[in-house]
């Protein structure tokens, strides 16, 4: 049989042979762990090229279940002295992102960005962060390597958002993504519960010797809000039968994080559910029941942690409010707000010091103000207002119980995280923001999934990242 091979096929075979030869030469010089890492990266790349959906599943499970590594002393002083952290999902995002860009370049009909109401505020905040950090590098306030790496970590959250909105196309896919997110939350909660007997504060899985209970607490608050939202709107007894134990499963490790910022976030979470849900009587009854049982059911460690805020033995660093002495940790956060507003920010008020350009502040809004100045701070507020409006609009317009539940959970979870961020850098923490922006993409796409002609029209044509929605 006569086989004819065209020139394009010949070139492809030649490139494949050269690539295989190069890989073989590299492999013989690699250690086993390095070779396994390269193999894993290539496998993820193949999966990402073959199926965007499979790649996003890998990303979902790696958000909380992927290992974390500290890279030397890069960025020390900006992350509680721990240095810059890299995690499995960072690598996955890079690989999946490049695969996505490559497919978009080859198949131009796929488009790169869809037009959503968050495009413009995302672009504005990204520009502010990049510009402020660039100025900080020029002025010598920001180390070029640490500044660049931290900015890229901020931008990766938006990459997750755009990957979701570009690939989410039907309700079944929405349900599968949601199931993966809830499964990850269940597994993470079980691992957290297994940490309780150690007597240490519960933190996220695979964080190494230095855990971050506040981080895990913020993640659990977000996922608890989603579970509660779906439960309150669900019409399926079977689904409620699964969701109720899941809520308890999430609550137990949340309590044992001993994260006071997470405890505070539970208050606006409950208030948000009461305000936005149509089942106000049920929520009010559950809240009253929970408060009545709290003194008998709350673990002693939780009660001691809460009251420690005002019962810590005297220390000269304690602040006083109305004659009440606050513990040193709370006092430090209050003083950081004062320092930023009255001392630090006025020195560089417009564009700030740049990301990592000043010492660490363990509070979101002071940090944004210091690092990106008034320009970045206003862009950040615009982004947050846009997220709130989008989630609220979706909640009020969707008729599907599942969509309404996810929108309700995301909206109330977002409100809770705003309060969480008063004493934590919530909106730049990887383990909170990756699932947050994944959910943001899902909620944003709900109107299209319901096939509403007046709303779905805004998503039909690809557009640049800076373009806003027509609605």
Per-residue 3-state assignment (H helix, E strand, C coil) for the chain: CCCCCCHHHHHHHHHHHHHHHHHHHHHCCCCHHHHHHHHHHHHHHHHHHHCHHHHHHHHHHHHHHCCEEEECCCCCCCCCCCCEEEEHHHHHHHHHHHHHHHHHHHCHHHCCCECCCCHHHHHHHHHHHHHHHHHHHHHCCCCHHHHHHHHHHHHHHHHHHHHHHHHCCCHHHHHHHHHHHHHHHHHHHHHHHHHHHHCCCCCCCCCCCCCCHHHHHHHHHHHHHHHHHHHHHCCCHHHHHHHHHHHHHHHHHHHHCCCHHHHHHHHHHHHHHHHHCCCHHHHHHHHHHHHHHHHHHCCHHHHHHHHHHHHCCCCCCCCEECCEECCHHHHHHHHHHHHHHHHHHHHCCCCCCCCCCCCCCCCHHHHHHHHHHHHHHHHHHHHHHHHHHHHHHHHHHCCCHHHHHHHHHHHHHHHHHHHHCCCCCHHHCHHHHHHHHHHHHHHHCHHHHCCCHHHHHHHCCECCCCCCCCC
Which tens digits make up the pLDDT trace of 58-110? 889 888 887 665 554 444 434 434 355 666 667 677 777 666 666 666 655 55
Residue 256 has pLDDT above 50, yes or no: yes
Q: Work out the pLDDT band at 371, boundaries 50, 70, 90.
A: very high
- For residue 266, tell me if it sits in a domain: yes
**pLDDT tens per residue, range 197-244:** 988 899 988 776 667 899 999 999 999 999 999 999 998 899 999 999
Would you say residue 29 lies in a domain? Answer: no
The total number of structural domains in the chain stands at 1
Domain contains 72: no
Query: Does residue 186 belong to any structural domain of this protein?
Result: yes
Residue 353 included in any domain: yes
Show the domain range for 269. 117-459
Who contacts 384 (Cβ-Cβ below 8 Å, separation ≥6)? 418
How far is Cα 305 from Cα 311, in angstroms, rounded to an integer?
Answer: 10
Residue 214 lies in a domain: yes
Confirm whether 40 is domain-assigned.
no
Q: Is the pLDDT of residue 177 over 90?
A: yes
Most confidently predicted of 86-100, 239-253, 455-469: 239-253
Tens digit of pLDDT for each residue in 402-419? 999 999 999 999 999 999
Which residue do the tokens 């009854």 mark?
Answer: 285
Lowest mean pLDDT among 52-56, 86-90, 259-263: 86-90
pTM beyond 0.95, yes or no = no
Note whether residue 5 is domain-resident.
no
């Amino acid at each position: 049989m006569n086989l004819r091979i065209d020139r394009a096929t010949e070139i492809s075979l030649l490139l494949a042979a050269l690539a295989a030869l190069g890989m073989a030469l590299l492999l013989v010089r690699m250690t086993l762990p390095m070779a396994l890492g390269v193999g894993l990266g290539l496998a993820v790349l193949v999966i990402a090229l073959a199926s965007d959906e499979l790649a996003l599943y890998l990303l979902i499970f790696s958000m909380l279940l992927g290992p974390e590594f500290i890279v030397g002393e890069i960025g020390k002083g900006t992350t509680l002295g721990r240095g810059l952290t890299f995690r499995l999902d960072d690598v996955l995002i890079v690989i999946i992102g490049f695969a996505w860009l490559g497919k978009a370049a080859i198949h131009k009909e796929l488009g790169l960005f869809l037009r959503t109401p968050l495009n413009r505020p995302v672009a504005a905040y990204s520009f502010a962060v990049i510009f402020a950090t660039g100025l900080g590098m020029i002025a010598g306030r920001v180390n070029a390597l640490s500044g660049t790496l931290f900015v890229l970590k901020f931008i990766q959250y938006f990459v997750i958002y755009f990957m979701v909105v570009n690939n989410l196309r039907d309700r079944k896919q929405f349900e599968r993504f949601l199931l993966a997110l809830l499964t990850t939350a269940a597994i993470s909660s079980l691992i957290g519960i297994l940490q309780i007997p150690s007597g240490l504060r519960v933190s996220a899985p695979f964080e190494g010797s230095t855990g971050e209970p506040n981080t895990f607490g913020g993640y659990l608050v977000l996922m608890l809000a989603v579970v509660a939202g779906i439960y309150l709107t669900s019409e399926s007894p079977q689904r409620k039968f699964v969701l109720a134990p899941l809520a308890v499963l999430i609550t137990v490790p949340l309590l044992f994080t001993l994260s006071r910022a997470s405890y505070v976030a539970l208050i606006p979470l409950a208030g948000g559910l009461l305000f936005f849900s149509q089942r106000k009587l049920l929520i009010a009854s559950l809240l009253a029941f929970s408060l009545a049982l709290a003194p008998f059911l709350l673990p002693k460690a939780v009660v001691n942690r809460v009251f420690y805020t005002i019962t810590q033995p005297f220390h000269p660093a304690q602040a006083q409010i109305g004659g009440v002495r606050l513990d040193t940790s709370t006092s430090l956060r209050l003083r950081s707000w004062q320092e930023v507003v009255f001392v630090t920010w006025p020195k560089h008020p417009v564009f700030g010091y740049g990301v990592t350009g000043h010492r660490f502040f363990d509070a979101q809004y002071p940090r944004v103000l210091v690092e990106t100045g008034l320009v970045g701070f206003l862009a950040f507020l615009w982004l947050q207002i846009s997220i709130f409006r989008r989630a609220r609009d979706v909640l009020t317009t969707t008729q599907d119980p599942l969509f309404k539940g996810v929108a309700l959970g995301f909206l109330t979870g977002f409100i809770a995280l705003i309060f969480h961020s008063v004493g934590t850098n919530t909106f730049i923490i990887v383990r909170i923001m990756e699932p947050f922006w994944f959910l943001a993409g899902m909620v944003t796409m709900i109107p299209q999934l319901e096939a509403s002609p007046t709303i779905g029209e805004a998503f039909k044509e690809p557009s640049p990242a800076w373009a806003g929605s027509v609605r």
